[in-house]
């Protein structure tokens, strides 16, 4: 939840700084044409797209991290909160790098044909990064990556606190 909240706040800030107006792909233009006046908020659609992407990435990393810490907690007898936190940060650091790369590559891949069209028309670098579609993809990659970065410590601390409690786990080690 913490990572998604940070991603949401960052998306709002970036939308204002980057002057993104909601017209970020052809579907936005279709929505503009199909919906009656007063019933469309394309910035809200953009915000929802950023949040959905961030939720997926943060949820994937958080669940994988919590599962790894759970396995560690049931495998190592009398593991302390501090040891779980240290392991969580180590695991999370590795996950952060790969997931951030995955997000960035996925967003580049989703707009690759459009990017190639812009390059074919000799757009300058400044023209490329100021394009609404490219700016939106950059915003998604940055907010998703920072959301993951913020979700890792929160997941680590919560999982370490829960798994270091001296109770008998109901799951057998032999499963």
Can you give the pLDDT at residue 88?
94
Global confidence as pTM: 0.74
Domain ranges of the chain: 2-17+57-163
> 42-51, 52-61, 66-75: which range is least confident on average?
42-51
Span 59-76, pLDDT tens digits: 889 999 999 999 999 898
pLDDT over 90, % of the chain: 19
Q: pLDDT-derived band of residue 44, with 50, 70 and 90 as boundaries?
A: confident
Contact assessment for residue 57 and residue 99, using Cβ atoms and an 8 Å cutoff: yes
Can you give the pLDDT at residue 153?
92
Specify the DSSP class assigned to residue 36.
P
Quick one: average pLDDT of 33-51?
A: 75
Contact assessment for residue 61 and residue 96, using Cβ atoms and an 8 Å cutoff: yes
Can you give the pLDDT at residue 27?
72
Q: pLDDT-derived band of residue 92, with 50, 70 and 90 as boundaries?
A: very high
The mean pLDDT value of the chain amounts to 81
Compute the distance between CA of residue 107 and CA of residue 31 in angstroms, rounded to an integer.
22
Span 136-160, pLDDT tens digits: 788 888 888 888 888 899 999 999 9
- 104: CB partners within 8 A, 6+ apart: 141, 145
- 7: CB partners within 8 A, 6+ apart: 50, 51, 54, 58, 143, 144, 146, 147, 150
Answer whether residue 164 shows pLDDT above 90.
no
Can you give the pLDDT at residue 91?
94
Residue 75, CA distances (Å) to 148, 157, 160 in order: 26, 19, 14
The token duo for 102 is: 């995955």
């Amino acid at each position: 939840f913490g990572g998604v909240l940070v991603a949401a706040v960052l998306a709002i800030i970036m939308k204002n700084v980057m002057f993104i107006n909601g017209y970020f792909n052809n579907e936005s233009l279709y929505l503009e044409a199909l919906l009656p006046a007063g019933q469309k908020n394309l910035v809200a659609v953009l915000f929802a797209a950023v949040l959905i992407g961030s939720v997926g990435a943060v949820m994937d990393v958080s669940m994988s991290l919590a599962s790894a810490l759970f396995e560690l907690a049931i495998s190592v007898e009398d593991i302390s909160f501090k040891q779980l936190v240290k392991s969580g940060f180590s695991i999370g650091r590795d996950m952060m790098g790969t997931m951030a790369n995955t997000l960035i590559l996925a967003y580049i891949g989703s707009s690759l044909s459009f990017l190639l069209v812009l390059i074919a028309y000799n757009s300058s670098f400044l023209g490329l990064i100021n394009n609404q579609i490219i700016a939106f993809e950059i915003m998604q990659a940055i907010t998703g990556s920072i959301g993951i970065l913020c979700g890792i410590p929160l997941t680590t601390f919560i999982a370490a606190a829960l798994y270091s409690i001296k109770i008998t786990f109901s799951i057998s080690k032999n499963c």
